[in-house]
Amino acid sequence: MSIDVKISHVIFPFIGSHLHHMDPGNDIGISEFLLMGFSEETELQPLVFEVFLSMYLITVFGNLLILLAISSDSHLHTPMYFFLANLSFVDICFTCTTVPKMLWNIQTQTKVITYEDCITQMNFFIAFAGMDDFFLNVMAYDRFVAICLALNYVVIMNSWLCGLLVLVSWILSALHSLLESLMVLQLSFCTVWEIPHFFCEFNPMIQLACPDTFLNNMVVYFGAMLLAGGPFFGILYSHYKIISFIRGISSAQGKYKAFSTCASHLSVVSLFYCTSLGVYLSSAATQSSHSSATASVMYTVVTPMLNPFIYSLRNKDIRFSGMASIKGPIVLC
């Protein structure tokens, strides 16, 4: 049993018990899937391996540097950087859920993933994707309070509220991923076990199921509207209020200073939502699973990789703190 499955038995014991007590097939029990990836051409596999390994290492070390800078500098112990630290941690976990297995399959020249590992991977992927949505929404609210309600910022964004927002984000994301994983556990898979993707995503998996998946699709759409659409509209509303407030500032310097405080977050939000929405809308229109798998790289790998660059390049506090943490001793406050 792999490490991922052991983790799932600790964090999600209910799922773990289902994996051992149910027969997932109709007449034949399924024990593994095949992750078909991007291309079956053997000569392209070394290039794919090198590209994804590079992006994976940049993502992990870049986000670790953000965490190191925030934890080592007391000036960064504010709500904005507290949420940014949580986002960086989730981005690391988000990438580690999918890329290492893909790299392992390329290196060993195999496409196999066990049924248990596939359910576990899908469960963690949904959970961390949901956390990304919630943290981006929470950060947008934090910028709204900092700009539009600046005089009451310290009172509103107190440590209790910040901790509650993070806790609720984790709980809702975990419950959503648990629900969708349990829905997949109720499905039966017949003879086609090839997943035209580089990881076990919910949509490609239910397309392989034998029975009618209408209920599963309804759960997906409802969950997407509630847990993705809700934070998305919250982000839009927060930035609408911010832009309206900035337009009322008389001085050009004041407008620039106010906009610069949320420019990085706007970049990350645009990159994450535009790529993820583009993937699902294009896949629904073309019905091309391989094209969807290729496009999914944008929000599963590229966006977490670019987040540290976007926040650090536009934020002098992060740049200076990161350089100091590398050159000097690390002090955890």
Using alpha carbons, list the distances in angstroms from residue 242 to 14, 80, 81, 147.
43, 16, 19, 7
Task: Give the SS3 label for residue 192.
Answer: coil
Ranking 89-98, 120-129, 203-212, 273-282 by mean pLDDT, the lowest is: 273-282
Please, which pLDDT band fits residue 53 given cuts at 50, 70 and 90? very high
> Does pLDDT of 257 surpass 80?
no
Query: 């964090």: which residue's tokens?
Result: 11
- Number of separate helices (H) and strands (E) present in the chain: 14, 3
Please, which pLDDT band fits residue 308 given cuts at 50, 70 and 90? confident
List the beta bridge partners of residue 166.
none
> Does pLDDT of 69 surpass 70?
yes
List the beta bridge partners of residue 113.
33
Q: What is the pLDDT of residues 173-188, one digit of tens each?
A: 999 888 888 888 877 7
Q: Report the range out of 12-26, 207-221, 223-237 with the highest average pLDDT.
A: 223-237
Please, which pLDDT band fits residue 30 given cuts at 50, 70 and 90? low
Q: Report the range out of 24-38, 178-192, 264-278, 280-294 with the highest average pLDDT.
A: 178-192
> Does pLDDT of 110 surpass 90?
no
Query: 């620039």: which residue's tokens?
Result: 256
279 burial class (0-12, 13-18, 19+ CB within 10 angstroms)?
Answer: buried
Domains in the chain, please, with CATH? 3-327 (1.20.1070.10)
- Return the amino acid letter for 289: S
List the beta bridge partners of residue 209.
189
Q: Report the range out of 60-69, 208-217, 285-294 with the highest average pLDDT.
A: 60-69
* DSSP states along 292-331: HHHHHHIIIIIHHHHHHHHHHHT-HHHHHHHHHHHHS---
- Which pTM was predicted? 0.78
What confidence score (pLDDT) does residue 63 get?
Answer: 93
Judge whether 330 and 72 are in contact, CB under 8 Å.
yes
Cα–Cα distance, 199 to 299 (Å, whole number):
13
